[in-house]
Every structure is written in structure tokens, then in C-alpha cells.
Amino acid sequence: MNFPSINELIAYRKRREPTLGVVLSVHPDKFSVFSEDGKRYDVEPKKVALLTGITVPETLTESEKKLEMRKWRRDLEEKKESVDLETLWQCVVGEQEIVSFEEILDLYSSGTEQVSSKQRLLLFWAVDKNTVYLVRAEDGYLVRSQEDVSKTLRALELRREREQKAQVAVNWVRSVLSGEIPSVVDENHREFLELIERYVMDLDGYERAKEAKAFLYEAGVKEVELAVEFLIKTGFWKKDDDPESKKISFHFKHSQRTLEEVKAILNAQEDFAGLTDRTDLDAFSVDSETTQDIDDAISLETRGDLVTLGVHISNVAHFVNRGSFLDQGALERAETVYFPEQRVDMFPRELVSQKLSLTAGDLRPALSLFATFKKEDSTLIDYRFDTTVIRVSKNLSYTEATEIFDQTKWGNLLVDLTDSLRSERVENGAFIVQLPELKIRVRDRQEISVSKDYMDSPAHDVVSECMILMNRLSADFFGKNEIPALFRSQTQEIDPEARELDPGDALFPVRVIKHLKPSFVTFVPEIHKSLGVACYVQMTSPIRRYTDLLMQRQLISWLGEQKICYSESELENINTRVSLATREIKNAQRSRHRYWLIRYLLEKDIKGATGYVSSKGYNGFNVYIPEFLIELALSNAGGRIFDIGSELSLSVWGSDPLRRRIRVSPA
């Protein structure tokens, strides 16, 4: 082969693509090259694609050489389309499969004067960069067939049309955002609106994320929130839509096959064969006034000096078979999602309302726990599980249940029993914290109501203890029978300081939460110190939580055939999937909750809210506002120093719901 000269410009292969370089030294087995990226490389002779014959002045500095090569590349890229490759291709198509660059050069120079070094380099660049007529091969260039060329040209034409269409859409987006034109949407815009919508929902998880980001950048939209504002401005999204809620709604749509399964279940004859008829029980449920998916009910029986507490959980497994489309869809959803403005169900609403929810007066299959206690001292004598059919007599609210418990003998007995269960847990080290919950409800996307739910009534306590009993005795049953289960454990000691905190302190919620220890899933029964129980599972909400359905199937399978429904490895794999989905759901719920709270505060123009200095942060002080159960950074404090616990009168300002920004300052 020919060797290059010192300071000669060459084209060599770098990851197969041609790269320009200036030769610094020549050896038989390698050339030292200063590349256009400003670095020195040793290049094997076989990597050299073209000796240009062009000499770069020796007097140039490395920076100047780099600039010179960049000029060359820019010039080559601009002029490569001027080379008539189609005519050259027509000379060889059907005649040769592989053609060398020298043969192409001969065809190019045929009938003309001597080809200059610059023309030769331009020809090489045009041929090597082209993918329509000739394709780079091992020993030259593959001559593409007439059919392949036609297909490629058509694809390029479609790409050009799409790029032109995209540019029109980019200009439209810019004009809408600037207010130059009204935000009228036609069919040409819709595909780009859908592109933006999917990107703001899934970000880099969207398969066309790269295309969407490039489009938005070209349109001057450099943050997701601005893209959302654009979607709302065009009317493609409604006011108050945002990525979290739209993503959940989009991905949680029930498939057609799922809906067909629901239809079959609803139309099928009721079959309660093999279930124990316990319609004799006076079972009742207790929930909030707005609850629609009623998972659980309670019953109480007395026989002499014994009392049997029944906890009945909707038998979702009776209707939803493992591996069905209903089941697969529920696994993907992981749990029901509760936003202030809507609920996105794990199961289709028709199935929940007509078959699963323990609605008063309707026959329903249930998984029932019957725990027998001594009436005198509430000592647990025995417990058993059974698959039953029940008819709930009443669906009570917490207020109604509290009144009934107070006014009836059996209600007093139930309260006494659950109080004893609670005391037993406290003696075992339970750390019981009853913090209020901020309830935000949105009606018709207009009327926002905010209230605090204290969840500390006798009825709340009764339901809580009954559910804890169901879960801990289920865990006990799993453990004794060596049945694989998703045990929830919390083994860390409770900080003694936490038990000394004063619930009456305005900052109690902020202070106590720092002492709450997270639980974790394990596959062996371990202590749950925060609850004060020896072992624990979750299985009281199978309508709205998929892992509860897993545990229900596991227990029912054992009751019926002494067999397990899931192996430990299957439970572990499913729990991993569910945990990832649940984490995303929780984040979306928190974000959406904050959005509507900020919208509410913005509407009310809050001034004079009572807050308490809760901590000192990096950039100042934080304040806790009990009225809204929220801790925020204090703005515009003017450099003032506050004592922790100081009471302040606060104003809310600078709210931006979409970006979840909210600021408070001393009034």
C-alpha cells in the first residue's frame, strides 16, 4: 500500500465512520495522527480509507489544525449532495455487486480533465456517507439493487415530509405559546399533541422520548411543566390535568378481554357450593361515608361466657382466578389509586359494585376469621378460618357505628373486647400513633374541600383492632403451617424519646414521624414491634391491594386442599413487581394531593394562618401549619431568628400548583 506523507490530510475509519486526521509520523505498522477531535491516535494502515494528497501547513498549531479540519468537514457535509451519485450508480447497477472507490473515481473522471485532490476527497465523502445507492462493504462498496434504492428513496421522501410537517407543528407550538394565534387544534396537530402527551406522562420511559424531546426543544419548550401548560392551553388536556393522574388513567385502562371476563362473571349463575352458609350472622361494615369498595365486615356472637368475633373479608379469589386477564390486569395495577378528583380502580368498577363489595342486603362470599375469647377477660381461646357466604345487614359510617356501639349492649361488649386487644398490644410494646389525615375532595374539578379526618373515634379503634387481629392471626396460621407468605416485620426498637412526646403539642405530628420505623417484607414470621404483634401479614383489602389477594388465595387454597397457591419464589417475584408499581402510585398520590392543596390555598388567598417554627433548615426556618398538616420552608423572614416552637401568623403566596411550589411568609 502507499504510505501517507507527513502533514498529509487523511480519512481513516473510527467506528467505521470516516474521520479526518493530519499525519504526524509514519511507521510500517502504524501512523501517528492528529485527529479532528484534537487528540493524537495511532492508526493501523488498514484503517486508512483515503490518502487525500492534501498537505496541511506545518506551521499551523494544533488548535489551528483542528479548526482547519472542522472547516473541511463542514465544507464536505455541505457539498456532498452536489455529487451525482445516481448517475454513477446507474453505470454499475446490474453489472457489479461490489465496486471499489478507484472504479468509482474512474467513472467520475471519465471524459474530464484531471480530478483535483479536493474533488477526489469530496467524491469519497459523498460515496462513503451515502446509504441510498452504495453501501460500505469490506472490499469496497455494495451496489444496491433497483428495488432497494426505490424503497430507500421512498423512505427518505416520507422522512422529509414528516420533518416538514414537524416544522410546521413546531412553528404552531411557538405561536400558541407566544399568544400570536389562537390555540385551534386540527388533525395535523393531533399526532404531535399525542407525542407530547405520552412524553410528559412517561418521560424517558416512552419509546419515542428522544423524538419528543427534540421536537419540544425545537419549539422552545424546555421543561415538562411548560409542555403541560401548552396541552391545557390547546384544550387537548383539561384544566388541572397533569402527568401523574393522566399516566395512571392511561396505563390503568382495563383491556377488552378483562371486560369480557367481568361480563361473564356478572351473567353467571351464583355458585356458592363448598362455602359455609353464615347468613345467620348479623354482620355489618364500618367505613367512611364516601367508601364504595367495602372489603370487610364484622360480626359478634355470644355463647355463655364466650364471645366469638367474626372478621369477614370479601372473597375476591372466588371470582378472580389466578392467571386470568382480570388477575393479570390487577397485578399490573398493584392497587387502587385514590386521587382527590377521582379513583382509579384495581378491578373494573362493575365487578366491585356488583360482586366484590360487601354491600348491605347482598349475598357475598367471604373469607371469615372466627376468634373466640373469654367474655370475662378477653383471653383468646381459639381461632379458625372458613370460606363463607354472608349477608351484611348494615353499611355504617364511623359516626353511625360509634353511636350504636355506645347505645347497645353488644356494642359495649365489642368496644371492651377491642380495647383489650389494643391494651395487649401496648403491653407488648406497640407504639400507637393516631395522626389526623388531610382529606381533599374535588367535585366536578371545581369545588375543592379540605378537612381533617382524626380517625380516633371508638368505631375507628374497633375496626382497626379487628383488622390487625385478622392480619396477625393469618400470619400466625401461615407460620404454624409453614405456608409461604409475605410477612410484614418491623424489628427496630422504638426510641424511648418517642413515647415521651406530648400528643397535645402542636408540633407532635412533625416530631413523632421522625421516630416511626418502616416495616419490610420477609418470608419468615418475625416480630412487628410498632404494632406489638409476634407476626403480621396484610390481607384485609383484596379489592384494592393485590398482595392482599395473594395472601387470600394462599390461605383459601390451604383451607380447601392443604395446598399452597404460590411458592416462596413466586411470591418474591410478584412482590418485587408490585412494590415498584406501588412506589410509583404513592408518589403520584402525594404529588396530586399537594397539587390540589396548593390550588385550594391559592383560591382562598390564605392570610393569618397559624404556624409553628418546626426546624431550622439549610436556607432558613421551616414552619408547620396544623390547619393543613403541612411543613413548609419559611420565605421572606428578613433574616429574623426564631425559636423552635414559636407561633407565627402566616400568609400563603407565590403558589404554583403545576410545579408544586408554595411559599409562606410571616403575615
Check which CATH number belongs to the domain holding 35 and give it.
2.30.30.140
Phi then psi for residue 14, to 5 deg, are: -130, 105
Predicted confidence at residue 108, as pLDDT, reads 85
CA-to-CA distance for 91 and 107, rounded, in angstroms? 8
Q: ∠ at Cα 119 (115, 123), nearest 5°? A: 110
Same domain, 532 and 629: no
The verdict on residue 597 lying in a domain is: no
Helix-strand-coil split of the chain, %, nearest 5: 40, 25, 35
Confidence of residue 112 (pLDDT cuts 50, 70, 90): low
Same domain, 56 and 77: yes
Residue after which a domain boundary falls, among 592, 625, 646: 592
Q: Which domain holds residue 634?
A: 605-666
The verdict on residue 249 lying in a domain is: no
The verdict on residue 321 lying in a domain is: yes
pLDDT in tens, 285-342: 999 988 889 999 999 999 999 999 999 999 999 999 999 999 999 999 999 999 999 8
Same domain, 571 and 650: no
Same domain, 167 and 299: no
Mean pLDDT of 340-367: 95
Check which CATH number belongs to the domain holding 650 and give it.
2.40.50.140
The verdict on residue 2 lying in a domain is: no
| Rg value, the chain, Cα | 36
Confidence of residue 183 (pLDDT cuts 50, 70, 90): low
Same domain, 69 and 25: yes
Same domain, 437 and 522: yes
pLDDT in tens, 267-282: 999 889 999 999 999 9
The verdict on residue 599 lying in a domain is: no
- Indicate the SS3 state at residue 525: coil
- Indicate the SS3 state at residue 658: coil
> Is the model's pTM score more than 0.95?
no
The verdict on residue 244 lying in a domain is: no
The verdict on residue 247 lying in a domain is: no
Same domain, 220 and 263: no
Same domain, 198 and 125: no
The verdict on residue 360 lying in a domain is: yes
174 residue type, one letter = R
Q: Which of 156, 112, 93 lies closest to 130, judged by CA?
A: 156
Residue after which a domain boundary falls, among 563, 592, 621: 592
Same domain, 60 and 172: no
CA-to-CA distance for 518 and 7, rounded, in angstroms? 68
How many independent structural domains does the chain possess? 4
Percent share of the chain, pLDDT over 90: 71
Same domain, 320 and 391: yes
pLDDT in tens, 242-264: 898 899 988 888 999 999 999 99
pLDDT in tens, 362-414: 999 999 999 999 999 999 999 999 999 999 999 999 999 999 999 999 999 99
pLDDT over 70 at 182, yes or no: no
Q: ∠ at Cα 179 (176, 185), nearest 5°? A: 30
Same domain, 58 and 152: no
Q: Give the position of cell 381461632.
A: 383
Distance of CA 228 to the CA centre of its chain: 18
Same domain, 432 and 374: yes
